[in-house]
Amino acid sequence: MSSVSATPDETVPEPVARTPMPVTAVPPASLGAVMLSRIVLGLLSLMALVALVLVIVLWQKVGGMQEQLARQSADAMAQSLEARTLARQAHETVRDTAARLALTETRVAEVALQRSQLEELMQSLSRSRDENLVVDIESAVRLALQQAQVTGNVEPLLAALKAADVRITRAAQPRLAPLQRAVQRDADRLRATASGDGGEALQKLDELMRGVDDLPTLNAVGVRSGGTGALQSEPIPADAPWWKRILMAAQAEARSLVRVGRIERPEAVLLSPDQTFFLRENLKLKLLNARLALLSRQVDTARSELALVAASLNRYFDPASRRVQTAATLLQQVQLQVRTAETPRVDDTLAALSTAAAGR
């Protein structure tokens, strides 16, 4: 803004008394200064007006912002209160949930304990049932084994093993699978080794005992089998003269009365009739002992008795007799049939039973 100042050349009018003065003409310089000052005042007024309007507008804006901030603050307070309420409710919910969770965990622990006790009880019952089954099978197998060892018949033992296999299959317990396999192996082995020669050997021994009384001894000259060899008389021709027939009959009678030969076994030839009787009875007793030994599965005893029978048969009886030869053949067949057989054994089954009884 520019200011108007008085120049030295200009003179300041002195104050005069307020009296009406006549209108005088104004100089052009003073008129210009007045106009300039009015313009400046107008501009200042306009600027002040504009500033006032701006201040009013800004004040309204600030007022609006304050109202908005007040509303937002009120909303924030309301939300804060609501959040606190929700937090309090959430806290209470969490506390209730924690209490329920603790109660649930306690119940779950009780249920788990009851389940473990129930499983232990079931396992105990299962083990008791399995142990009873194992004990029953072991008793049956051992009884059948003793019967097989005494009688020599493996059929009861095979029946016991088959029954044990069926019972194990019905039990359906995996821990008894090794026992079932052992039972099946022993049963297959017994079926493979079972033989029917025992009954045939007993029949031949009975036939030998029945024919002992008919066997001729070495000192039985008049009854030697078939009249063979040097004791057989020559046939008399039907067209021979009477004197020749008489001579041949006399020669045959003389040959029947006298015999010349080499005595290799004097004790056999010198047997008396009583000794011959006791010899036959002793032979029967030895055959009977061999039969009893076969029935009691004493194979070694049966073989020794049969060897004594063969020695007596070759020593005291006529080897040229057909009956003696037949008896010797039967005796050899019996000796071949009576072989040293192993006693029936079920070691795999007994070992598996021991393992199952131990609970492994």
According to the model, what pLDDT value does residue 198 have?
59
Work out the average pLDDT over 338-360: 72
DSSP bridge pairs for 217: 317
Confidence bin at 126 (pLDDT 50/70/90): low
pLDDT at 319 > cutoff 60: yes
CA angle 82, 88, 93 (to 5 degrees): 125
Question: What's the CA angle centered on 330, arms 324 and 332, to 5 degrees?
Answer: 100
How far is residue 335 CA from its own chain's centroid? Answer: 47
- pTM of the predicted model, to two decimals? 0.41
294 touches 338 (CB < 8 A): yes
pLDDT at residue 6 in the model = 41
- The larger pLDDT score, comparing residue 72 to residue 236, is at 72
pLDDT of residue 16: 44
Tell me: pLDDT of 1 over 50. Answer: no
Q: How far is CA 196 from CA 192, 193, 200, 204, 292, in A?
A: 12, 10, 7, 14, 17
The beta-strand segments (E) located in 156-209 are none
Position 170 pLDDT exceeds 80: yes
**pLDDT > 80? residue 284:** yes
Which residue has better confidence, 333 or 229? 333
pLDDT of res. 348? 82
* pLDDT tens per residue across span 58-106: 998 888 888 888 888 888 888 989 998 999 999 899 999 999 999 999 9
Least confident of 12-16, 54-58, 312-316: 12-16
